[in-house]
Structure 1
Amino acid sequence: MTRLNVLLFVALVASGLYLVHVSYQARRLFTQVERAQAEERALDVAHEQLQLEKRTQATPLRVEKVARERLQMRTPTAAVTQYVQYEGAASAEHGARP
């Protein structure tokens, strides 16, 4: 009978230690999940800010302003427009053979 009591006592102690270990692991994993969710929220906020900045930078007025100032581009006029015509296309329009 005492052997059985000792065996049950050892099983009870082992079970208690295992329970403590499992509880510790669960708390540790829970804190990792909480940190990951906080990081996810921070990344979502940063992503939204970047999307807003992207939309702000890509407005047509800003693109035109940058094109004029930095790239020194200008609106095309008839005076600076050059038309290129393919020889085969010109003769095909007039019914001539190539």
Structure 2
Amino acid sequence: MTRLNLVLLLAVLASAIYLVHTQYESRRLFTELDRAIAEARRLETEHQRLQVEKRAQATPLRVEKIARDQLKMRTATPAITQYVSDPQGAAVAAASAAAQPGSAQP
């Protein structure tokens, strides 16, 4: 009988130790989950802030100001526009048009 009591006592102690371990692990995992959720919220807030900043940086007025001030660019006007023609490119285009079937040849 004492042997059975000893085995049952060991089983109860093992069960109690396992229960304590399981509760500790559960609390640890809950704390880790809570931290992960807080980090996700922080990252989402930062992402939204960066999206707003990106939109603010990409406004046409700001891009034009940076181009004018930092890159020394200016708006194109007909007075400063230079048109470049490619005589060789025009000859190639005419030759390819003449080589197509159904095209009128002079």
Which category describes the TM-score, using the shorter chain as reference length? 0.7 to 0.9
Q: Which runs of 4+ in 1 moved over 2 A?
A: 88-93
Q: Say whether residues 1:69 and 2:69 are aligned partners.
A: yes
User: Equivalences for 1:20-59 in 2 at 5 Å?
Assistant: 20-59=20-59
Q: Which has the higher contact order (CA 8 A, sep 6+)?
A: 1
Q: Say whether residues 1:4 and 2:14 are aligned partners.
A: no
CA distance in 1, matches of 2:22, 2:60: 59
CA distance in 2, matches of 1:46, 1:18: 42
Residue 90 of structure 1: CA displacement?
A: 3.3
Number of the residue aligned with 1:89: 89
Gap regions ≥5 residues in structure 1: none
Residue 88 of structure 1: CA displacement?
A: 2.5
3-state secondary structure, aligned to 2:71:
coil
Residue 79 of structure 1: CA displacement?
A: 2.1
3-state secondary structure, aligned to 2:48:
helix
1:3-34 CA-to-partner distances (Å, cap 9, x unmatched) read 11110111001100110011001100110110
What TM-score comes out, normalization by structure 2 length? Answer: 0.81
What TM-score comes out, normalization by structure 1 length? Answer: 0.87
Gap regions ≥5 residues in structure 2: 98-106
**How large is the Cα RMSD of the aligned pairs?**
1.7
Q: Say whether residues 1:18 and 2:26 are aligned partners.
A: no
